[in-house]
Amino acid sequence: MNLEGKNFLITGGTGSFGSTVCNFLLKKGVKEIRIFSRDENKQYEMRKKINDSRVNFLIGDVRNYDSLLEGCYGTDYVFHAAALKQVPSCEFYPLEAVKTNIIGTENVLKAATINKIKKVVLLSTDKAVYPVNAMGISKAMMEKLMLAKSIQIDNKTIFCATRYGNVMCSRGSVIPLFVNQIKSNLPLTITDPHMTRYLMTLNQSVDLVMHAFDRGLKGDIFVQKSSSSTLVDLATALKNIFNYKKDNIVIGTRHGEKLYESLLSREEMARVSDNGKFFRLPADNRSLNYKSYFEEGREINKEYEEYTSHNSKRLTIPEIEKILLSLDFIKKALKN
C-alpha cells in the first residue's frame, strides 16, 4: 500500500510499539503522524528523539471520547495501541482495565466511524484467548466490540486487529528485568521454569500490524506464526551472553499469570486461513437467525488443536542467544 501523503493517528503512541511504527511510517513518506497519549513527559522525550515536523503530539485519553473525536478529524488511518497491559496491575484494578481497554476502544471505534477513517487496526494480545486474568478478559471484550461493529454497522471504515504475545524488551517485560538483575548482581527471578512465552521483536510486531493494515478486511484478526521459549531457557541465554554465574530463584507465578499463552483457540483454528508467515482469522458473519444452520447443518471432519506457546516451535538456547544479540537493547546493555 502506498503510504505517501497519508495521515495516521496512533493511540498510546509513546509506547514501545508506537515509537517503532512511527519511525517506519516516516520512512514511507507519510504526511502526518499524530501521537495520542496522556503522558506529556513521554511525549516530550519522543519529540526530542524523533525531531520531525510531520509528527504531532496530542494530549488526550482514550477514555475521553471528545478528545479522540478531535484527534481523528482529518486522519486517514488509526493504529489503536493504547491499553493497560500489565497483568498484575489489572488484577488489582480490573475496573481500570475496563475503562481503558473496553470503553476506550469503544470510543476509538465510534470516533473513527464519525470521522470516516478508512481503516483502524487494533492491537490485541494472546491473553485474550482463553482469558483467565482481567487484562486478557478486557482485551477479549475489545476484540468482541471490534467484531460486532464490523458485522453490524454498515459503514466504510474497516476495523481489524492483530494478536501477538510478549514483545521482547518492551517496557515492563521480562528481559529488561533480567538484565537489570544481572547488572545489580542479583539472582534472576523465575516465576515458573516450565512457563513458556512467545518471543517477538518490535520489528516483527510492526510487520504484523502492517500486514493487517495492508490485507485486513472487516473483522479480521491476524496472528504471526511465532517461536517460543521457556523462561528458564531465556534466563540461561541472557546469563550466557553476559557471562553471569549467579543461580536463578523460583518465586512462583504472579497474579493472573498463565503457564502458557494461546494465540488461537481450537475453535478459531477451524476457521483460520494460512497466509505464510501469518494466520488470518476472518469474522464470523452469521446472523442471529440460526434456523438455517439447524436445517442445513455443517460437517466438520477434522479435530483442531489450539496454537500455543507450548506447541509452537520451541527455540533452543543458542537460537535465543542469536535473537537477543540482534536487539538494540541488548547491544546497548553489553556496551555499558
- Distance between CA 217 and CA 90 in Å, rounded? 31
Burial class for 160, CB neighbours closer than 10 Å (0-12, 13-18, 19+):
buried
Cell output for 154:
454498515
Closest C-alpha among 98, 123, 121 to residue 214: 121
Helix, strand, coil: what percent of the chain each, to 5?
Answer: 40, 20, 40
Length of the chain equals 336
- On whether the CB atoms of residues 168 and 204 are closer than 8 A, the answer is no
What number of other Cβ atoms are within 10 A of residue 289's Cβ? 7
The CA angle 251-91-219, to the nearest 5 degrees, is: 115
Burial 237-246 (b: 16+ CB within 10 A, else e): bbbebbebee
- Distance between CA 30 and CA 16 in Å, rounded? 20
Does residue 258 carry a catalytic annotation?
no
Residue type, 137: I
- Distance between CA 156 and CA 118 in Å, rounded? 7
Q: Which helix (H) or strand (E) holds 227?
A: strand 227-230
First to last CA, the chain: 40
Q: State the catalytic residue, choosing from 127, 149, 218, 258.
A: 127
Place of cell 507450548: 310
- On whether the CB atoms of residues 215 and 282 are closer than 8 A, the answer is no
Cell output for 170:
518492551
Q: Catalytic residue numbers?
A: 127
